[in-house]
Amino acid sequence: MTKFTFAIMGATGHIGHHLTEELLKKGHQVRALGRDARKLQELKTKGAEILSGDFTDSSLLFKAFKECNAVFSFIPPGLNADDMEVFREKTAEAIAQAIAKARVSYVLNLSSIGANLSSGNGPIKELHHQEERLNSIENLNVLHFRPGFFMENFQMFIPSIKNSEMIATAIENDLPIPMVATSDIALKISEFLDALKFTGSTVFEFVGPRDMTMAEATKVIGKAIGKPDLKYTQLSYEQAEEKMIASGMTHQIAKLMVEMHRAFNERKIRLTQQMTAEHKGKTTMEEFSKIFSQIYNLIKKAA
Ligand SMILES: NC(=O)c1ccc[n+]([C@@H]2O[C@H](COP(=O)([O-])OP(=O)(O)OC[C@H]3O[C@@H](n4cnc5c(N)ncnc54)[C@H](OP(=O)(O)O)[C@@H]3O)[C@@H](O)[C@H]2O)c1
């Protein structure tokens, strides 16, 4: 088996940490990138080389990408940035510049379902532009990996569950949504990187074992945390925006999130490929809810 060197962005994040560990297990060399050197230490003890700094810094990325066989490129959510859109655009540009300068041959780019749309899709818009930026780099083999809604997103609702015994967004309660566990995403990406066979510019959509509505997912999660009556409430777009702002989000981010939820409701964000078995992770919402429950209890204890 050929052993490669990979640069993994967001190595302390949901996908990045699973992916780094998976690639190390397969015997590859990994340069794990994150913004916090202390949080990266655990990966260092597992054999990764670590690099820390801000992903808007193209020179840091160039250093990490130089002489790598492939890069896992990733734009952080930017939920704490003063201006989320500016942060995501600056990061995307820094990534593209560093890839071109380091003459990287293979990039597995984390994108999202809905990135086929150039506008009206909230934070996914930048992922559309990033796909285009990377497609314009000469001699680059790039696979745009477009996963569905992360099951881990439900962790954002923990304060609402604790304070008001409900999960509430503007997403329709009976709209089936492709939900997927980030550990399954990491596993699939590790297979693509281990083989390194993709050529040109391609797209790959990836979902969970079955689509779920917000109401169904809320029921499963409620049962796992001992709240079988936990309710999902569909809010109006205005109510949803106000609720997010009240919870501490900036007006800009709340607007972008509502725009994305509206695009789901209007069936604009939808799959464009046939979801055969290779496009599906194995983790069910029932299995994920056990992990959710552990995190919920830890947070409850700490509060
Ligand atoms: N959420 C979804 O449903 C969904 C669906 C499809 C695609 N996506 C895409 O997936 C991306 C990741 O989402 P996530 O919520 O799962 O992220 P996450 O795993 O929580 O990852 C954040 C990672 O980025 C690092 N980071 C954050 N800001 C940084 C900065 N300024 N410079 C360097 N590193 C920084 C974090 O470091 P620390 O550990 O130090 O914080 C962490 O490693 C999103 O941005 C989105 O584009 C999301």
Q: What is the pLDDT of residues 110-161, one digit of tens each?
A: 999 999 999 999 999 999 999 999 999 999 999 999 999 999 999 999 999 9
Q: Which residues line ligand 1 (CB under 6 A)?
A: 10, 12-16, 34-36, 39, 54-55, 75-77, 110, 112, 127, 147, 149-150, 153
In our burial notation (b when 16+ CB lie closer than 10 A, e otherwise), range 177-197 reads bbbbbbbbbbbbbbebbbebe
For the stretch 231-242, pLDDT in tens is: 999 999 999 999
* Contact status, residue 213 vs residue 175, Cβ threshold 8 Å: yes
Pure H helices in 136-206: 158-164, 182-195
Instruction: Name the closest-CA residue to atom 44, ligand 1.
Output: 77
Distance 256 CA to ligand 1 centre (A): 16
Which residue from 8, 14, 80 has its CB within 8 A of the most atoms of ligand 1, so it is best to mutate? 14
Mean pLDDT of 210-230: 97
| Ligand 1 centroid – CA 15 distance (Å) | 8
State residue 37's pLDDT score: 96
- Higher pLDDT residue, 162 or 152? 152
The alpha carbon of 57 and the centre of ligand 1 are apart by a number of angstroms equal to 16
Question: In this predicted structure, what is the pLDDT of residue 300?
Answer: 73
Going by C-beta distance under 8 Å and a sequence separation of 6 or more, which residues neighbour residue 290? Answer: 224
pLDDT value for 2: 85
- pLDDT above 90 (res 299): no
The CA 228 to ligand 1 mean position distance, Å, reads 31
User: Does 184 have pLDDT greater than 90?
Assistant: yes
Length of the chain: 303
Q: What is the pLDDT of residue 303?
A: 67
User: What is the CA(79)–ligand 1 centre distance, in A?
Assistant: 9
Q: Would you say the pTM of this structure is higher than 0.85? A: yes
The residue whose CA is least distant from atom 32 of ligand 1 is: 54
CATH assignment of 5-149+179-206, among 3.40.50.620, 3.40.50.720, 3.10.20.520, 2.40.10.120: 3.40.50.720
Average pLDDT over residues 61-67: 97
- Rounded average pLDDT over 87-100: 98
Report CA 256 to chain centroid distance, whole Å.
16
| 70 close to 4: Cβ distance less than 8 angstroms | yes
Quick one: which atom of ligand 1 is closest to the CA of 13?
19
CA distance 51 to 62: 11
Predicted confidence band of residue 88 (pLDDT cuts 50, 70, 90): very high
